[in-house]
């Protein structure tokens, strides 16, 4: 068997085209485009690359976005004051605070301060609580990207066995709840899990989100399974690879996301999609959706 590779870039371009139409409709009705503000504190290189990528996508689809760059020595009160200002700003429909923050700033303070209706990265206690309760909420973008891929590829989830390797607050935990809502039977594995390979081989859908290069091998994959590789790991010789050993797993899996080119291209697009959703919700309406769950 040779796995069918899922083209995340093509899927991301498809979603961008849909969002352009939504933004045109919103702008015509509301008189302004949806507004996004990215708050970045300090000079972390990875978050800088991330910010630029979001700004490029926003410009491409028609969202009005800007970066609020703050010095590394910004105080907690100064950051909180900015977030409160953005909460009250009618031209801002979505707020993202780039992580990691400098050590003296609290991520919990940020999560507690951002208005839940503008929390398009799903970090607020209200967003997390809504997800737990199964009511509509904004979602961590990487977890949302995984579900978007499964839906657009028409992967059956109802009654199917899903195994997630990784229990982070931004992927493993929220993704497990999202897939439970799709009536999947979900198992979360982690560093203390015994018989990991045996559990992984039971999965109809296997999600690797642990941050260990090529740890998932063919022996861990059920023939014909859908394998979603969330990991991004730098290689000593340069370049990146995922948590899945592509060469071996591609001979066993039915569907497989590559790294790069799989989940990654959708993550930022999902942030922008949630910004557009937030804009419509703040206007008292809902966004059109071409994807039926």
Give the least confident one: 131-140, 246-255, 282-291.
282-291
The average pLDDT across 72-85 equals: 97
Residue 211: CB atoms within 10 A of its CB come to: 15
Looking at the predicted structure, is the pLDDT value of residue 60 above 50?
Answer: yes
Please give the C-alpha separations between residue 258 and each of 172, 210, 218, 250, in angstroms, as whole numbers. 19, 16, 15, 10
Global confidence as pTM: 0.92
Buried (b) or exposed (e) across 21-43, using 16+ Cβ within 10 A?
A: ebbeebbeeeeebbbbbbbbbbe
Q: Are 62 and 33 in contact (CB under 8 A)?
A: yes
Residue 248 binned pLDDT confidence (cut-offs 50, 70, 90): very high
Whether pLDDT at 292 is above 60: no
Question: Six-digit token pair at 151?
Answer: 């839906």
pLDDT tens digits, 181-228: 999 999 999 999 999 999 999 999 999 999 999 999 999 999 999 999
The mean pLDDT value of the chain amounts to 94
pLDDT for position 179: 98
Q: Is the pLDDT of residue 46 over 80?
A: no
For residue 293, pLDDT over 60 is answered with: no
CB neighbourhood size of 2 (10 A): 10
Q: Are strands 255-256 and 4-5 parallel, antiparallel or unpaired?
A: parallel
Asked whether the predicted pLDDT for residue 291 surpasses 60, the reply is: no
What domains appear along the chain, each with residue ranges and CATH number? 29-116 (3.40.50.10860), 141-264 (3.40.50.720)
> Which phi and psi (to 5°) does residue 26 adopt?
-65, -45
Angle at the Cα of 152 from the Cα atoms of 199 and 47, rounded to 5 degrees: 80
Burial class (CB in 10 A: 0-12, 13-18, 19+), 155: buried
Contact call for residues 255 and 227 (beta carbons, < 8 A): yes
């Amino acid at each position: 068997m040779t796995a069918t590779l899922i083209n995340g870039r093509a899927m991301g371009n498809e979603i961008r085209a849909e969002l352009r139409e939504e933004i045109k409709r919103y702008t015509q009705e509301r008189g302004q485009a949806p507004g996004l503000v990215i708050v970045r504190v300090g000079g972390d290189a990875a978050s800088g690359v991330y910010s630029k990528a979001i700004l490029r996508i926003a410009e491409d689809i028609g969202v009005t976005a800007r970066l609020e760059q703050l010095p590394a020595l910004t105080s907690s009160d100064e950051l909180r004051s900015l977030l409160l200002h953005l909460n009250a700003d009618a031209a801002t429909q979505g707020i993202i605070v780039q992580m990691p923050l400098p050590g003296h700033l609290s991520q919990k303070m940020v999560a507690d301060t951002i208005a839940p209706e503008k929390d398009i990265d799903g970090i607020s206690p209200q967003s997390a609580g809504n997800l737990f309760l199964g009511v509509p909420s904004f979602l961590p973008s990487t977890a949302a990207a995984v579900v978007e891929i499964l839906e657009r590829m028409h992967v059956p989830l109802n009654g199917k066995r899903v195994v997630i390797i990784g229990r982070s607050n931004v992927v493993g935990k929220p993704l497990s709840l999202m897939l439970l809502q799709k009536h999947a039977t979900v198992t979360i594995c982690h560093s203390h899990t015994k018989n990991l390979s045996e559990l992984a081989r039971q999965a109809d859908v296997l999600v690797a989100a642990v941050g260990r290069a090529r740890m998932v091998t063919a022996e861990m994959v059920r023939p014909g399974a859908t394998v979603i590789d969330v990991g991004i790991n730098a290689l000593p010789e340069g370049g990146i690879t995922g948590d899945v050993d592509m060469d071996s797993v591609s001979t066993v899996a039915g569907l497989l996301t590559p790294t790069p080119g799989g989940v990654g291209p959708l993550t930022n697009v999902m942030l922008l999609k949630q910004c557009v959703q937030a804009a419509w919700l703040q206007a008292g309406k809902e966004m059109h959706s071409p994807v039926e769950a």
